[in-house]
């Protein structure tokens, strides 16, 4: 797949109302892709759909299986096909292992793993019948690290990467390409929206900036586009992230 033949393709982008998802939706729309905009924020999606030609607002809570199923069905009925799925919706949770709230733990795993998995299960038969497709799952640089207080989030993103790489092997004969993108620290509302057990447990962004300043959401969106076009298994925000042995805190 290349940028020239993306025009007319249909993509689902979850978490499209802000941050990386918003930047990705705009970038894909600029490439001529028809984008199904997914998040819980109905009003934001409807405003965005008026800005992006060919887009469709499809509100859905990615922790609710019936809503995911309806979202996929509505997208297919509207566009008659689904070529690209970008599983971007997710949320952080900061808590030391001793203080992890099991209810919050389950919520994070429902959002960060089960939601993307259900979306994959829904689009795979559609893509197979079309002769192929692309699935991009957004992991995190924290999946390559061992950071205090971030075990729930980082392990959820590590699990998503593991599911993705297994699916990549399972679906290669169906011409369905599954890839993982590992963003670095990104300038979004992610930290603001992260769930924390107590203020003193906050993970300070400046403690883990590494050798680079935070990236823009637009930069990560271009990495996602790079993954769609190249079909590479893993796409890292920066080359140094490939050397996982150097990433332990």
Instruction: List residues with catalytic annotation.
Output: 153
CB atoms within 10 A of CB 125: 10
The residues near 64 (Cβ < 8 Å, ≥ 6 apart) are: none
DSSP symbols for 185-237: SEESSHHHH-EESSGGGPPPGGGG-TTSPPEEHHHHHHHHHHHHHH--SEEES
C-alpha–C-alpha distance, residues 89 and 116, integer Å: 8
- Residue pair 7/125 in contact by the 8 Å Cβ criterion: no
What is the Cβ-side half-sphere exposure of residue 21, based on CA atoms within 13 angstroms? Answer: 28
Tokens standing for residue 21: 């998802």
Report CA 240 to chain centroid distance, whole Å.
Answer: 21
Q: DSSP 3-state assignment of 181?
A: strand
């Amino acid at each position: 797949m290349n940028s020239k033949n993306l025009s007319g393709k249909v993509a689902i982008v979850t978490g499209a109302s802000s941050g990386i998802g918003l930047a990705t939706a705009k970038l894909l729309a600029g490439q001529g892709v028809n984008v199904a905009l997914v998040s819980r924020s109905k009003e934001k999606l409807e405003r965005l759909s008026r800005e992006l030609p060919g887009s469709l607002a499809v509100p859905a809570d990615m922790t609710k299986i019936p809503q995911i199923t309806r979202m996929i069905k509505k997208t297919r009925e509207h566009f008659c096909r689904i070529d690209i799925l970008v599983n971007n919706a997710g949320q952080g949770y900061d808590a030391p292992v001793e203080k992890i709230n099991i209810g919050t733990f389950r919520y994070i795993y429902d959002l960060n793993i089960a939601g993307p998995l259900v979306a994959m299960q829904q689009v795979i038969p559609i893509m197979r019948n079309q002769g192929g497709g692309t699935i991009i799952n957004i992991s995190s640089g924290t999946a390559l690290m061992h950071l205090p207080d971030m075990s729930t989030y980082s392990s959820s993103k590590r699990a998503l990467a593991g599911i993705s790489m297994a699916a990549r092997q399972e679906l290669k004969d169906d011409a369905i390409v599954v890839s993982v993108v590992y963003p670095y620290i990104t300038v979004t509302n992610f930290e603001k929206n992260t769930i924390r057990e107590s203020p003193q447990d906050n993970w300070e962004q400046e403690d883990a900036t590494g050798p680079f300043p935070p990236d823009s959401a637009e930069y990560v969106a271009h990495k996602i586009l790079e993954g769609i076009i190249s079909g590479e298994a893993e796409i890292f925000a920066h080359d140094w992230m490939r050397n996982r042995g150097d990433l332990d805190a």
